[in-house]
Amino acid sequence: MLDHNKFINERISKSISYNAFRTLQHNKNLIDFCSNDYLGFAKEAVIHHINNNTPKLLNYGATGSRLISGNYELTEETEVFLANFYNTSIALIFNSGYNANIGLFQCLPQRNDTIIYDEFIHASIRDGIRLSNATHFSFTHNNLAVLEQKLSNAKGLIYVVVESVYSMDGDHAPLTEIVAICKKYNAALIVDEAHAVGIFGNGKGLVSELGLENDIFARIVTFGKAFGVHGAAILGSNELRDYLINFSRAFIYTTALPLHNIITIKNAHEFLLQNLSRIDQLKELITNFKSQISNFKSQIIYSDSPIQCIVVPGNNEVKAMADKLQQNGFDVRPILSPTVPKGQERLRICLHSFNSKKEVDNLVNTLKI
């Protein structure tokens, strides 16, 4: 036991020495510029409250996995609703985006197959890929030439994996071009839309905005960001749904989401359709913020998404800048290495439809000091 504690303490000490040690924090009534609640749906009681208009629940808890006692008509009806919303054949609900990515990549690619993924792909996809037996390679972020070079050497069934909007930089994948390359090499394209749904394509994601629904093998959509609730779904074909139900360990061996959670997923999507103006409000703030920081001396990672990043190299330096902003009332968090490459540490500023123009102006003025 002493050896085990020694290992733990050594890892913690190393993290502290790099100023990369993480601790849990409470929200301090600061102005929110860090959360993924892009449209403010997490605060909307109408989405989260169960009332007299809500279908009567058989149970408040799920009671088991969906293959045993945790599958309900309400869950399957919600999956049909989601499939129609996202213009796809099926939607299969998972407990979270992390859970969905683990469940998909663990079971789908096989030993003689190849996975080629963008180097900035989310940790949950990397972890799922590690659980598969497939050969896997990364390609330089959004570099189509390198992607094609990797594809030319791929063996077996080939899967290409990207995010439509990247979580750390907020930039887009060139999906139209990637679709064309994947068709050339008969590769299945999988797109994580965690940070795109609710924002692009009238809430349906960047794939939908570009009209590429029929060109994507599978999409992962999550509901804990712009939709302000919890859970995720994998979108694809009927065959993919049957395969995941039978072979995805993350789906088979976990207790299902409780029914009140399923209700909030549908509520959030219906609420969005009635409040599309929030997307317009958010886009106006994004445009305003970008115009104000365009003359900053710091390296700016520009994007059209709510995620706006200012590179402040060094863990010490970026933490000091975040502390300064927090002391001035703005909840902005630093992104440290090794989460991002050393020298690319940054302030990750998330804009929301509920942020006022004055709040954004004051944030920018504080950044200038």
Ordered by start, the domain boundaries in the chain are: 25-44+277-368, 55-274
pLDDT at 339: 84
pLDDT(35) > 90 = yes
Per-residue pLDDT tens digits for 185-244 = 999 999 999 999 999 999 999 999 999 999 999 999 999 999 999 999 999 999 999 999
Mode of pairing for the β-strands spanning 232-236 and 90-94: antiparallel
pLDDT(55) > 70 = no
pLDDT(361) > 70 = yes
Q: What percent of the chain has pLDDT over 70?
A: 97
* 362/57: higher pLDDT: 362
pLDDT(53) > 70 = no
> Do residues 55 and 248 touch, judged by C-beta distance below 8 A?
no
Q: What is the mean pLDDT of residues 139-155?
A: 97
pLDDT at 52: 60
Lowest average pLDDT, out of 143-147, 156-160, 200-204, 294-298, goes to 294-298
How does DSSP classify residue 165? B
Q: Rounded to the nearest 5 degrees, what angle is found at the Cα of 248, between the Cα atoms of 242 and 249?
A: 145
> Do residues 164 and 207 touch, judged by C-beta distance below 8 A?
yes
> Token match 């504080």: residue?
366
pLDDT(368) > 90 = no
- How many other C-beta atoms can be found within 10 angstroms of the C-beta atom of residue 353? 22
Q: What percent of the chain has pLDDT over 90?
A: 84
* 14/221: higher pLDDT: 221
Class of domain 55-274: alpha beta
Three-state DSSP class for residue 15: helix
pLDDT at 60: 81
Q: What is the mean pLDDT of residues 65-70?
A: 95
* 6/213: higher pLDDT: 213
pLDDT at 22: 87
Helix residue ranges per DSSP H, 138-237: 144-152, 175-184, 206-209
Average per-residue pLDDT for the chain: 94
Mode of pairing for the β-strands spanning 114-118 and 299-301: unpaired
Structure token digits, residue 37: 């609640």
pLDDT(62) > 80 = yes
pLDDT at 27: 74
Structure token digits, residue 313: 């190299």
- Which element (helix H / strand E) includes 365? helix 357-368
CATH-assigned architecture of domain 25-44+277-368: Alpha-Beta Complex (3.90)
* 200/338: higher pLDDT: 200
pLDDT at 354: 97
